[in-house]
Amino acid sequence: MTTTLQRPDLAIVADWIKPESRVLDLGCGDGTLMQHLQNSKQVNGYGVDIADSDITQCIQRGINVIQMDLNEGLSEFDDNSFDHVVLTLTLQSMHRPDLLLKEMMRVGTEGIVTFPNFGHWKSRLNLALGGRMPLTRSLPNEWYDTPNIHLCTISDFEQLCHHLGFTIMERQAVDHGHKSRLRVKLLPNLLGEIALYRFQRK
């Protein structure tokens, strides 16, 4: 049975995944994406998460899941074990995002990452006029209780990819409804609330 993804950003990620490929979904949550990929594209692979509740839901969905802390790296996996390594809306909560990206490219051929864009105009306006850390639909937590510890902009992420020696294969930016519109494509760092990237080693 084919499942339908309710989040359009996850649908974009799913479109980037090749059928029958090996996929590692880091910070997989309840396993929605992996279940969709297994049913619609017959992928093989694993989900990884740290939360007990998410592990339970993944098992109930029939997902191969491993409980581990991504901040400790991906030592459980051998080099070049996967075709795609996915990290959706989790990069900003990592202690060392750069090290995790390196690990993704060690174990996989292609990386797919999504993150909230701190360069969005509402974030800039909150800081410029209000002098406070922004509260937006993609960044809904107060500064003192947010899981996000390394916020970045689209420009920041692209600079990091260049520094790490990654080639960006595709980029999309979407609005708060997780849809890619023409104005967002024209000014992604200003108007995009969520950024989505495909990249690989040079």
pLDDT band at 182 (very low <50, low <70, confident <90, very high): low
Cα distance from N-terminal residue to C-terminal residue, the chain: 38
Check residue 139 and give its pLDDT: 77
Check residue 181 and give its pLDDT: 65
Q: Which domains does the chain have, with CATH numbers?
A: 8-201 (3.40.50.150)
- The tens digit of pLDDT for each residue in 22-70 reads 999 999 999 999 999 999 999 999 999 999 999 999 999 999 999 999 9
Is 150 within 8 Å of 94 (Cβ atoms)?
yes
Check residue 119 and give its pLDDT: 81
Helix (H, G, I), strand (E, B) or coil at 82: strand
C-alpha to C-alpha distance for 117 and 199, rounded to whole angstroms = 17
Whether the full predicted model's pTM is greater than 0.85, yes or no, is yes
pLDDT band at 7 (very low <50, low <70, confident <90, very high): confident
37: exposed, middle or buried (C-beta count within 10 Å: 0-12, 13-18, 19+)? Answer: buried
Check residue 1 and give its pLDDT: 45
Is 170 within 8 Å of 176 (Cβ atoms)?
no
Q: How many residues does the chain have?
A: 202
Is 17 within 8 Å of 33 (Cβ atoms)?
no
pLDDT band at 114 (very low <50, low <70, confident <90, very high): very high
pLDDT band at 6 (very low <50, low <70, confident <90, very high): low
- The tens digit of pLDDT for each residue in 74-108 reads 999 999 999 999 999 999 999 999 999 999 999 99
- The tens digit of pLDDT for each residue in 145-162 reads 777 788 899 999 999 999
Distance of alpha carbon 192 from its chain centroid, rounded?
15
Check residue 17 and give its pLDDT: 97
Q: Mean pLDDT in the chain? A: 89
